[in-house]
Amino acid sequence: MSDAKLLRDELRKKYLEFGLEAMSDEEVVRLVLSLSCNEFDSFTEKLIEGFGSLKSIEDADPQALVRYSDIGERSAVLFRMVSEISRCLAVKNVKKGVYLRTTADAKSFFAPLFTDHREERLAVVCLSSRLKAVAPASVIAEGAAASVRASCRRITALALDLKADGVIIAHSHPSGKAVPSSGDCASTELLASALSRFGIALIDHIIVAADDCVSLRETDIPLSFRDRECFGYKITKLL
Amino acid sequence: MGKGSIHSGHRDRMRSRFLTLGSGGFSEHEILELLLFYSIPRANTNETAHALIERFGSLENVLAAAPEELMTIKGIKSESAFVIRLMHDLCKRYSATSDVSADLSDDEKLEGFLTEYFSENHGNVCLLLDMTPRGELRSTKCLPTSSLLSGELGSREIAELVVRNGFVRVVIGQCIDGDKCIPDASCYSLTRLFAETLAPLGTELHDHIICCSGKCFSMRKNGSFSFGSGGNHE
């Protein structure tokens, strides 16, 4: 049995018996690289020498990883997957069980879903009558499909499925300002009307841009959705 | 063309796409399909990935599933269950120290973040913080300082990274050896390199913060460098 195979088996045994917590950064890097190449021992030394830690390697620009150490795209993908999947799951898991009682709460709630994305995105959170999120926020649409009007049916279906009393939606203006367009206002009214047929309130519509975040409930724009039930949802500014 | 070549071409394209776009360009089953490349050689993993999502409901649930449960899916043997479990544990370990969306809107928070990062991640690296104009952390990218100083990673490579990731505002955190937390000649050449590279791209270089032995030196705060911003300015 080759040295590489012996080392690989040893690392796997340690991981399976004691978990990653018992392993040093160097051992974890070796273990990961052993999935994709035979020269994992020498590549590990080079990576740790250049980047210092597992986290820095996972945070590294993949092209820089490949250039610095010649590890190849096959191995670089594995490290990139860790940071990308973690980020993906962290955003997705925000934030079941929180209360969104004010416009400031809603803005803080939705901001993380948009900071890492450059395309338009539409997200929704379903609430109880006590303004508690009944499920994690759902991303309804991305890119060209991220229009409130086009997603009315999906939003309504989700709210019905989760037995929601209210809904807050948010969409992004990635390359523009957080200024509600006439289209944004019209689709807000349309959605509010659609939801109200089933006893569900559209509580707010948040628009997120690179440097600002606006709640349509806070604006002076004449919108009838504000006259409907909102379970005591308040307008407050972020400190 | 043999079947092996068809699969290897597809796999290479998928890997390149992932390296370029990250997870944003991938559905959950495609991420799983990519992960299964490392345990299932020379076969189409797309169907197996679909089957996993169908059975467990989401990528998160697949990653969290017990190996015995995973192996009830056709195409999943012990090696695939091992790789999936390993990825789950790696993500858990990464997430425990990750601060995406952290509010770094003032100097104290920014320096606190970098001090903590470099206390746990020792290495002569430059950590690029990709920030929103509001001061929220969007992502981080780590580059070896030696590669930047040697020219192995030059203006062209930095510009490609910035454009590829859509950076708007950048803060450089640089960890250096020694006791004295003051920039030396190599630090200034890095600041110049980034300033000259980012300006034509309209990306703001907001600060270059040197970190050493638990202390921080902000070039912006100390007036050590004139930070223009491709349009924005303090």
> Which among A19, A63, A112 is the nearest to B101, CB-wise?
A112
CA of residue A110 relative to chain centroid, distance: 9
Separation of alpha carbons B7 and A157, rounded Å: 39
Helix (H), strand (E), coil (C) string for A14-81: HHHHHCHHHCCHHHHHHHHHCCCCCCHHHHHHHHHHHHCCHHHHHHECHHHHHHHHCCCHHHHHHHHH
Separation of alpha carbons A204 and A120, rounded Å: 18
Neighbouring C-beta atoms of residue B53, cutoff 10 Å: 18
Q: Mean pLDDT over all residues of chain B?
A: 85
Domains and CATH numbers, chain B: 3-95 (1.10.150.20), 107-218 (3.40.140.10)
Return the CATH number of the domain spanning residue range A95-227: 3.40.140.10
Confidence of residue B73 (pLDDT cuts 50, 70, 90): very high
What pLDDT shows up at residue B231? 34
Average pLDDT over residues A179-191: 90
Q: Which residues of A touch B34 (CB under 8 A)?
A: 77, 81
Q: b or e along A29-51 (b: 16 or more beta carbons within 10 Å of the residue's beta carbon)?
A: bbbbbbbbeeebeebbeebbebb
The beta-carbon contacts of B229-234 under 8 Å, at least 24 apart in sequence, are B229/B169, B229/B204, B229/B205, B230/B198, B230/B199, B230/B200, B230/B201, B230/B202, B230/B203, B230/B204, B231/B202, B231/B204, B232/B133, B232/B169, B232/B204
> Least CA distance to A31: which residue of chain B?
B86
CA of residue B198 relative to chain centroid, distance: 19
- In eight-state DSSP terms, residue B59 is H
- By the CB < 8 Å criterion, does A13 face chain B? no
Contact A127, A164 (CB under 8 A): yes
Separation of alpha carbons B210 and B214, rounded Å: 10
Q: What residues contact A18, with CB distance under 8 A and at least 6 apart?
A: none
> Least CA distance to B150: which residue of chain A?
A68
pLDDT higher than threshold 60 for residue A238: no
List, as ranges, residues 21-80 from B with C-beta within 8 Å of A: 22-24, 31, 34-35, 38-39, 59-60, 63
In the numeric block, which tokens belong to residue A147?
């229009």
For residue A204, the cross-strand partners are A168
What pLDDT shows up at residue A70? 83
pLDDT higher than threshold 80 for residue B56: yes
Confidence of residue A117 (pLDDT cuts 50, 70, 90): low
Mark yes or no for CB contact B100/A115 under 8 Å.
Answer: yes
Confidence of residue A146 (pLDDT cuts 50, 70, 90): low
List, as ranges, residues 174-213 from B with C-beta within 8 Å of A: 175
List, as ranges, residues 181-210 from A with C-beta within 8 Å of B: 210
**Comparing A199 with B138, which gets the higher pLDDT?**
A199
What pLDDT shows up at residue B149? 92
> Least CA distance to A25: which residue of chain B?
B121
Average pLDDT over residues A21-35: 92
Q: Where are the beta strands (DSSP E) in chain A?
A: 121-127, 138-142, 166-173, 201-209, 212-215
Report percent pLDDT > 90 for chain A: 35
What pLDDT shows up at residue A124? 92
Mark yes or no for CB contact B141/A211 under 8 Å.
Answer: no
| Shortest Cα distance, chain B CAs vs residue A196, angstroms | 30
pLDDT higher than threshold 80 for residue A144: no
CA of residue B183 relative to chain centroid, distance: 25
What pLDDT shows up at residue A239? 47
ipTM of the complex as predicted: 0.72
Tell me whether strands A201-209 and B125-131 are parallel, antiparallel or unpaired.
unpaired
Confidence of residue B1 (pLDDT cuts 50, 70, 90): very low
- By the CB < 8 Å criterion, does A14 face chain B? no
